Amino acid sequence: MVLRVAEFYSGIGGMHFALKGAGVDCQVVRAFDINTVANDVYRHNFDGVPVMQRCIESLPMTMFEALRAELWTMSPPCQPYTRQGLQRGSGDERAKSFLFIIDLLERLQNKPTYLLVENVAGFERSDTRAMLLRQLVRTGYRFEEYLLNPLQLCFPNSRTRYYLLAKLGAEPQECASDCEFPAHFRHDVPGASLIQPAADADGRVDFERGIWHHDEVRRVKQFLEDLAPEDAASYRLPQKILDRHGYVHDVVTPDDRRTCCFTKGYTHYAEGTGSVLQTAGVVGVDPMTQENTRYFTPREVANLMGFPASLSFPSATSAKQRYRLLGNSLSVSVVAVLADYLLHRM
Ligand SMILES: C[S@@+](CC[C@H](N)C(=O)[O-])C[C@H]1O[C@@H](n2cnc3c(N)ncnc32)[C@H](O)[C@@H]1O
């Protein structure tokens, strides 16, 4: 039986790629996103999937009922929960659409059997998480929560994210609106082989320090494009940036087994938006120059995030837009492992 999927906050289709990667026989019956550039990329990759370019919270109940989707995937906006942001949580305007979906679950006649939610690390401390879990208890879902990082799957890229898997079938229970839930987040997925990060004395895990130097993590060079010199030149860091901000970059070499999280600000802001690649000399000893240091290409960022070679962009999508879209997307490899577990073993 082909699984009917609704992909909310579809972006460039990270969830769809992950389901394909996990070998799930599925049909995305509708994708939802308000970003026109993302939607062009989505249509370019998934011909025939209807993409709805409307605010989710403006859609009528009848539309959700008519989907008859068994799996809802959701990676709602992360700005209300990011460490860099104001962490307004549910009070943030950008949380509105997800709160709408949470509320909807109670009223739906055709509830999805499965839910898969992805968000930034930080979401697990938010009031939105508590509201979501209370609703799942009331509506008869059992659920599991995860904090995972693609380093655990030997990808040399750090992207710690919160994931929730839920499956309909529990007895609906009353749940008070001040009910709190223990902070129990799994770092392993049953039936999958993930490197386990070491925990500190308080039980907190540090994926990066714990795994970066693990021999099983693949080297960055396995994810690089074979760039002709003239193509490599277009990824050079501008001299002005090297002079003013060179030192704040996270610098890695092809032999390293790590890169930091690529965000939508990559190449626009120097600090905390993703690593740059030093192709010659010794990091920290030899100065970064335009000849020995470059940005990762969008294709390389996609490789590090686990996107398949089949991901492609319309030629009109600029490099800057590609970085933004990829930075907003997700670790396809991690979601594939979770989807496989949710649909087959949970
Ligand atoms: C974190 S990104 C999800 C990216 C996606 N999973 C991917 O693989 O590219 C959140 C997405 O939600 C979209 N979005 C934000 N608010 C929305 C709303 N109210 N209705 C529909 N889409 C919305 C944004 O345009 C953005 O593409």
Note whether residue 207 is domain-resident: no
Within-domain flag for 211? no
Domain with 334, as residue range(s), is: 3-197+330-344
Q: Is 293 in the pocket of ligand 1 (CB under 6 A)?
A: no
Provide the annotated active-site residues.
78
Do 339 and 323 reside in the same domain of the chain?
no
Strands 250-252 and 275-278: parallel
Cβ 329 under 6 angstroms from ligand 1: yes
| pLDDT confidence of residue 86 | 67
pLDDT at residue 213 in the model: 66
Shared-domain flag, residues 44 and 152: yes
Q: Which of 14-28, 40-54, 276-290 has the lowest mean pLDDT?
A: 276-290
Rg (CA), the chain: 21
Co-location of 149 and 14 in the same domain: yes
Ligand 1 neighbourhood includes 116 CB (under 6 angstroms): no
Q: What is the CATH number of the domain that holds 118?
A: 3.40.50.150
Q: Residue 1's pLDDT is what?
A: 86
Q: Determine, yes or no, domain membership for 209.
A: no
Q: Say if residues 293 and 237 touch (Cβ distance below 8 Å).
A: yes
Average pLDDT (292-301) is 96
Could you tell me the CATH number of the domain that includes residue 288?
3.90.120.10
Q: Which residue has the higher pLDDT, 240 or 321?
A: 321
Ligand 1 centroid vs 72 CA: distance in angstroms?
A: 14
**Is 137 inside a domain boundary?**
yes
For ligand 1, the distance from its centroid to the CA atom of residue 328, given in whole angstroms, is 8
Residue 115 lies in a domain: yes
Please report the beta strands in the chain, taking only residues with DSSP state E, as ranges in sequence order.
3-8, 26-32, 51-52, 71-74, 114-120, 141-148, 161-168, 250-252, 275-278, 293-295
Residue 210 pLDDT exceeds 80 = no
Are both 157 and 169 inside the same structural domain?
A: yes
Tell me, yes or no, whether 236 and 226 share the same domain. yes
Distance 274 CA to ligand 1 centre (A): 21
Give mean pLDDT, residues 90-114.
91
Average pLDDT score over the chain: 92
Domain annotation covers residue 213: no
Q: Are residues 224 and 193 in the same domain?
A: no
Cα–Cα distance for residue pair 55/31, rounded to 1 Å: 12
pLDDT for res 78:
86
293 and 165, same structural domain?
no
Same domain, 334 and 305: no
- Summarised one tens digit per residue, pLDDT across range 163-207 is 999 999 999 999 999 999 998 899 999 999 999 887 777 777 888
**Residue 210 covered by a domain:** no
Quick: pLDDT tens for 26-49.
999 999 999 999 999 999 999 999
Residues 176 and 75 in one domain: yes
Which pLDDT score is estimated for 326? 98
Residue whose CA lies nearest to ligand 1 atom number 20: 55
Q: What is the number of structural domains in the chain?
A: 2
Helix boundaries (H) for 79-224: 96-107, 127-139, 207-211
Question: Is the per-residue pLDDT at 244 higher than 90?
Answer: no
Q: SS3 for 241?
A: helix
Per-residue model confidence as pLDDT tens digits over 124-159? 999 999 999 999 999 999 999 999 999 999 999 999
CA distance 254 to 266: 19
Q: Would residue 204 count as lying in a domain? A: no
- C-alpha span between 304 and 209 (Å, rounded): 19
Say if residue 24 is in the same domain as residue 148: yes
As a whole number, mean pLDDT of residues 203-228 equals: 85
Angle between helices 36-45 and 319-328 (to 10 degrees): 90
Together in a domain, 128 and 270: no
Q: Is 75 in the pocket of ligand 1 (CB under 6 A)?
A: yes
Judge if 19 and 134 occupy the same domain.
yes
CB 87 within 8 Å of CB 142: no
